[in-house]
Amino acid sequence: MTGAPIRFDRVGGVAWLTLDRPEQRNAIGPEVADALHDLANRCADDPAVRCVVLTGNGRFFSVGGDVDLFSQAGDDAEPVVLDLARRFHAGIHRFATMEKPLVTAINGPAAGAGFSLSIAGDIAIAAASAHFTAAYSAIGLTPDGGASWWLPRLVGLRRAQEIILTNRRIDAQEAAAIGLVTRVVPDDTLMDAAGTVARSLAAGPTRAIGRCRALLLASGERDIATQLDAEGQWIASSAGGAEGREGIAAFLEKRLPNFTGS
């Protein structure tokens, strides 16, 4: 995909998606939003892809929405930004609801829509030099990309209010301490760390992992009875499926399970 705004590489069961507009600090415009959605669909639908890693090329993960585009739209800013948000959100939603796990490897600063994208991973690994800024209200805007949905769930409402309303910069160490990211690693080991996690997830039970993702995603909207019912249905279905049978057999036989063949 030479020249594409997002580079796609597949190594074994891991798809690597790299935001590839370093000269624009990986700003998100229509081409990036469309590519993100297309690649999310590609990864979700391809059985050879068992885990997805999303990262950025260059010094930045992403500075967020293409503010130059907003300015150039002039009096048409409202429909232009709405169109971009809807295209961007289509990819965000696909990543959130696909069966495959998403790892974000946050290689540098993440702001605005880039901030939203960075925290969307099931596992979010930040380079030590990365930092995070909501940035929206600093230029008179409101969140997109799911920031207002993810943040209260990750860090609690009180911290989410401060992050969104004050736009203060959060360094990588604080981000890990408050649960904004999973962990921090030295810059030069980021890709190795992300690859290790991704390969482990890719070797796991993809269907069961997908159901775990769906249960967690729905947990904040359901009462306990509904959630328990869903858990009961899915653990039973999983136990009767190929992955469950392989996992149980491997446990009893004291061997490592082979989920990729199930």
Q: Do residues 89 and 68 lie in contact, with contact meaning Cβ atoms separated by under 8 Å?
A: no
Residues making up the chain, counted from first to last: 262
> Scanning the structure block, which residue is given the tokens 């810059």?
187
Query: Residues 126, 80: contact at Cβ < 8 Å?
Result: no
Q: Which two tokens stand for residue 131?
A: 């930092």
| CA 21/CA 203 separation, integer angstroms | 31
Task: Kindly name the residue from 89, 93, 171, 223 that is annotated as catalytic.
Answer: 89
- Write the burial class of residue 149 (CB in 10 Å: 0-12 exposed, 13-18 middle, 19+ buried): middle
Note whether 97 and 216 are within 8 A (CB). Answer: no
Alpha carbon distance 7, 118 (integer Å): 17
| CA-CA-CA-CA dihedral for 48, 54, 59, 64, to nearest 10 | 140
37 tagged catalytic: no
| 89 counts as catalytic | yes
Which candidate, 32, 41, 4, places its Cα nearest to that of 15? 41
Tokens at 212, concatenated: 């775990």
Alpha carbon distance 152, 65 (integer Å): 22
- Residue among 144, 171, 187, 223 flagged as catalytic: 144
For the annotated catalytic residues, the residue numbers are: 89, 144
